[in-house]
Structure 1
Amino acid sequence: MSLTTGLMEGRTSLEMSDLARITVDQYEELARLGTLADPGIELVNGLLVKKMTKRPRHSATLMVIEEVIRAITPEGWHVRVEQPVRLPEHDEPEPDLAIVRGKPIDYLEHHPGPADVALVIEVAAASIRIDRGDKLRAYGRSGIPAYWIVNLIERRIEVYSAPVSEGYGSLVTHEPTSDIVLLIEGQETGRIAAGDLLPEPKLP
């Protein structure tokens, strides 16, 4: 669905060309001044985008993923959950999970940038259009080495690598029965059963 179509509910005649994009610097300045007080907003492609309301399945799945990823994150890296990543020049998304260089205290004065990030993960259901679209392009053109979409709709993991200017040059889709290799700076740090990232409700 296009932006124009999505805005039709508000009976607007605005086109994409009518909108003004802001930079990451401008976005962070607005936040510093307290103008942006809404925690449900993130900057994607220079536009203020509402984050999707998280349903129970999304929240529970993210907590499971965090536990699994933390267990195989090596020393010198840490896991951030739903925290900003600064992607010059027009993006500051808040991925569901990111593996970031160093320790949390290293980022008291700035958000991590592309050189600090080994992997971003988005848990996708209602958000899958944006996760496969503008967010994928933002992560790829910024040089984030790997991007995983935990696709709750089709129950599979989409693993993107080889970043290019328009996104990623490689996509490998993992069904629940396959294993995913976690690579950090080209080194394997662990293997994950894709099914472990796709929990199902327990039957009564």
Structure 2
Amino acid sequence: MTLQDQIKAQTLQLIAIPSDPIWRLQVAQYHAMVQAGILTEDDPVELLEGWLVPKMPKNPPHRVCTQTTRELLAQMVPSGWYVDDQEPITTEDSEPEPDIVIVRGQRRDYLERHPKAQEVALVVEVADATLQRDRTSKKRIYARAGIPIYWLINLVDRHVEVYTKPMSHLTVADYAEQQIYLPHDQLVVVLHEQVLGMVPVSDMLP
């Protein structure tokens, strides 16, 4: 078994649903645990579809890709929007922490709460060890929340998967369209149907 296979197997064990009945958390209960100090910034978890799921450690290529892509997007967003990274957004049943997100407004608009899905124009996940999770539960969460565009920067296969047209009405929420961009391609940056510019995929990949 290769190292990558071992990491994948360990990840699947971490996110496996136990056979015994357990209590699934609502977002309000999760917030209450944070406010009470039961969960702190030192606890590497995020709430995904009612489950407390461990966040994977980030290796140097993941870090470089995240920061590079964040800087590229920050140069393009117009006034009235900002780019954040690895911070929570709130949906009806989850509170994921995307690697990058474009949010409506200014940071100080969210002193009392995290941004909600309808205030988010784009989410980006950088995937290596988390590739399976980002293609399944994370994609479901973002589609169910109606987030219009989801980029998955796939470090394993060295391409970017762009998901658009969320279909939240399905039994299993998903995106209607998927397009893969290779390192030699230009990725169109769209904000609420307005084209902001182009980003070379090679500039985002480490």
Both structures adopt the same fold (TM-score exceeding 0.5): yes
Instruction: Report Cα offsets for 1:71-119 as digits up to 9, x if no partner.
Output: 111111001110000011x200000000000100000011101110000
Structure 2: runs of 5+ lacking an equivalent:
1-7
Residue in 2 that maps onto 1:33: 36
Shift of the alpha carbon at 1:39? Answer: 3.8
Structure 1: runs of 5+ lacking an equivalent:
200-204
Given candidates 72, 77, 91, the residue that maps to 2:76 is 72
Go from structure 1 to structure 2 and tell me whether the alpha carbon gap of 1:171 and 1:49 turns closer, same or farther (over 3 Å shift). same
* Counterpart Cα distance in 1 of 2:154 and 2:105: 29
Go from structure 1 to structure 2 and tell me whether the alpha carbon gap of 1:68 and 1:33 turns closer, same or farther (over 3 Å shift). same
SS of alignment partner, residue 140 of structure 1: helix
Question: In the alignment, is the contact (CA less than 8 A) between 2:86 and 2:100 conserved in 1?
Answer: yes
SS of alignment partner, residue 75 of structure 2: helix
Shift of the alpha carbon at 1:13? Answer: 9.9
Question: In the alignment, is the contact (CA less than 8 A) between 2:14 and 2:54 conserved in 1?
Answer: no
Residue in 2 that maps onto 1:127: 130
Asked whether 1:50 is paired with 2:54, we answer yes
Residue in 2 that maps onto 1:164: 167
| Segments ≥4 residues shifted beyond 4 Å | none
Question: In the alignment, is the contact (CA less than 8 A) between 2:90 and 2:117 conserved in 1?
Answer: yes
* Counterpart Cα distance in 1 of 2:155 and 2:119: 28
Shift of the alpha carbon at 1:150? Answer: 0.4
Residue in 2 that maps onto 1:110: 113
Residue in 2 that maps onto 1:194: 201
* Counterpart Cα distance in 1 of 2:83 and 2:27: 23
* Counterpart Cα distance in 2 of 1:51 and 1:105: 26
SS of alignment partner, residue 190 of structure 1: strand
The TM-score, its normalising length taken from structure 2, stands at: 0.88
Go from structure 1 to structure 2 and tell me whether the alpha carbon gap of 1:186 and 1:30 turns closer, same or farther (over 3 Å shift). same
* Counterpart Cα distance in 1 of 2:28 and 2:129: 29
* Counterpart Cα distance in 1 of 2:122 and 2:191: 8
Shift of the alpha carbon at 1:14? Answer: 3.3
RMSD, matched Cα: 2.1
Amino acid at match of 2:107: P
Report the identity percentage.
Answer: 38
Go from structure 1 to structure 2 and tell me whether the alpha carbon gap of 1:26 and 1:146 turns closer, same or farther (over 3 Å shift). same
Residue in 1 that maps onto 2:67: 63
Residue in 1 that maps onto 2:5: none
* Counterpart Cα distance in 1 of 2:99 and 2:14: 25
Instruction: Report Cα offsets for 1:104-153 as digits up to 9, x if no partner.
Output: 00000111011100000000000011100101000001000100000000
* Counterpart Cα distance in 2 of 1:76 and 1:167: 28
Amino acid at match of 1:97: I
Amino acid at match of 1:187: Q
Moved more, 155-164 or 36-45: 36-45
Shift of the alpha carbon at 1:196? Answer: 1.0
Amino acid at match of 2:22: L
The TM-score, its normalising length taken from structure 1, stands at: 0.89
Go from structure 1 to structure 2 and tell me whether the alpha carbon gap of 1:185 and 1:198 turns closer, same or farther (over 3 Å shift). same
Go from structure 1 to structure 2 and tell me whether the alpha carbon gap of 1:13 and 1:86 turns closer, same or farther (over 3 Å shift). closer
